[in-house]
């Protein structure tokens, strides 16, 4: 269980504090929706959460099976839809370091990526395009 305290601080901004760690995230409305776009928007955090979750679950799988995905990056694109305004598509490109992964390790990585809790928590109508790139 995690507790987060979020406060509206004005000017379409919030300040979210993770109680256990005291880490803070500032949000701002995006520039296409009355904000200044000077920080993550709430929908940006949704997309970032999916990428971070996938990387975390892949990292756990790699640790359990004795290999590393250190240096892997996720490039995440969020595309908004309308009527109602919502995240319509999240596209993620996962770029793995130049390590040589076996076929078994690649299968473990792929399975882990699609096992992440955020992935399974998102509405099925939200299009999720996930691309794994192994640099070999």
Strand partners, 86: 81
What six digits make up the tokens of 108?
Answer: 């473990």
pTM confidence score: 0.92
Does residue 116 surpass a pLDDT of 90?
yes
User: CA 65 to CA 67: how far, in whole Å?
Assistant: 6
Confidence band, pLDDT 50/70/90 cuts, at residue 99: confident
- 33-58, pLDDT tens digit by residue? 999 999 999 999 999 999 999 999 99
Looking at per-residue confidence, does 108 or 98 come out higher? 108
Q: CB burial class (10 A; 0-12, 13-18, 19+) of residue 70?
A: exposed
Does residue 136 surpass a pLDDT of 70?
no
What six digits make up the tokens of 29?
Answer: 């409305």
Q: How far apart are the first and last CA of the chain?
A: 39
3-class DSSP string for 42-58: HHHHHHHHHHHHHHHHH
């Amino acid at each position: 269980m995690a507790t987060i305290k979020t406060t509206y601080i004005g000017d379409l901004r919030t300040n979210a504090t993770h109680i256990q760690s005291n880490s803070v995230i500032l949000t701002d409305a995006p520039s296409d929706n009355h904000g200044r776009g000077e920080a993550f928007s709430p929908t940006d955090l949704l997309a970032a959460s999916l990428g971070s979750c996938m990387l975390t679950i892949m990292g756990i799988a790699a640790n359990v099976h004795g290999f590393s995905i250190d240096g892997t990056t996720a490039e995440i694109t969020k595309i908004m839809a309308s009527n109602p305004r919502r995240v319509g598509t999240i596209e993620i490109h996962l770029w793995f370091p130049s390590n040589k992964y076996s076929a078994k390790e690649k299968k473990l990585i792929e399975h882990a990526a699609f096992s992440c809790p955020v992935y399974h928590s998102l509405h099925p109508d939200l299009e999720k395009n996930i691309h794994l790139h192994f640099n070999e």
